[in-house]
Amino acid sequence: MVIALSLSLVLIAVAVLVVGYVSGADPAVAGSSAGASDAATETPRPAPEALPAPATVESFDKAARSLDDPTSIWVVVNKLRPLNPQDYEPDDLVSVPVEHTWEPELRQEASDAVVAMFDAALAEAGLELASNSAYRSYSAQEEVYDGDDLTTARPGFSEHQTGLTMDIGAASGECSLAECFAETPEGVWLRDNAWRFGFILRYPADKTDVTGYSFEPWHFRYVGTELATEMHDTGFTTLEEFFGLSAAPDYE
């Protein structure tokens, strides 16, 4: 009886070993390794390819307005680009309701922008600004021109004749129409904020070889907020360079 029982137990053990061998699993670890075996044989997935960066698109349209038409707020006037006709006079001039030395006139759009800018200077920084000069006709420019081509424009070549330009100073008169205006609180505020209202400092200190004029920290030209913002954001300080025009250090 004992011998028979022992033989039975031996036969059962042999049968278990045979089944484990045939199935390819170690009976001692078959239960614990089934999951690991499945994971080990899983096909790896390739990493997704990065999408190419979108191409840079130049969104600013430099041809949106004329650079030659005197009625355009982008008109470029310099020693090589006179107004056409040279005795041009804007037909929408209005009196500008701001503090002034001489009663200023500008085109309506520029006048509205000046008023907004003067109001902001007072509200934001407590600074009082004043107009020292604005629109000047061809005949008025004949009287102003003193023969010094670095400081005054010849009649027909003056930005003041466009009705888009104002010489701005402090209401106190400190450093009026002088380079020291650049260091006054009013001059600093205008330098840093005029672009918000569509104005650019037209004759920077380091661009005489481009503009043809010496530094005028009081001379601000209206070009509209779209262009003024684009020039501010891209770092251009002259219309000539922004639009790829020839420098105009001298008259032809």
Residues with catalytic annotation? 216
Residue type at 229?
A: T
Structure tokens at 86: 């040279």
Q: Where are the alpha helices (DSSP H) in the chain?
A: 2-23, 30-40, 108-125, 138-144, 185-193, 208-211, 225-234, 239-242
Q: What is the CA radius of gyration of the chain?
A: 39
Count of all residues that appear for the chain in the document = 252
Structure tokens at 229: 């913002």
3-class secondary-structure state, position 37: helix
Structure tokens at 119: 């109001």
CA 54 – CA 56 distance, rounded (Å): 6
Q: Half-sphere exposure (CA, 13 Å, Cβ side) for 213?
A: 25
Structure tokens at 161: 């004749």
- 170 and 179 Cβ atoms separated by less than 8 Å: no
CA 167 – CA 158 distance, rounded (Å): 13
